[in-house]
Amino acid sequence: MSRKSSGSLLAGAGAGLLISAAAGLLLAPQDGRTSRTKTAGSARKVKESPSAAAQRCRERKEKCRQSGQVRYELICSEMEILKKQARLAAEREATPNQEK
């Protein structure tokens, strides 16, 4: 999608949102104060939604990082054990068997 068409799409979506909101307010079955209160509450939720989503994303990222760090350390310790076992096996093979 080009910038021009995506800009047009966003402009059209924004215009549609404003027209829908205006129609909803005009045709609402409650008084103006109640409508304004509800609209303000909805606007606040929409405004706070991206920051809440970003916070959840940061929390998930940190949890994944910690989990990855634990797994990395576990793998490193297992690799050290395997290196020691391989070294011992190589030493056993290198030393001649002395029979009594």
pLDDT at 42: 78
pLDDT at 21: 79
pLDDT at 39: 77
Distance in angstroms (rounded) separating the CA atoms of residues 18 and 29 = 19
pLDDT < 50 stretches in the chain: 100
Is 0.75 surpassed by the pTM of this model? no
Distance in angstroms (rounded) separating the CA atoms of residues 58 and 55 = 5
pLDDT at 4: 59
Distance in angstroms (rounded) separating the CA atoms of residues 85 and 91 = 10
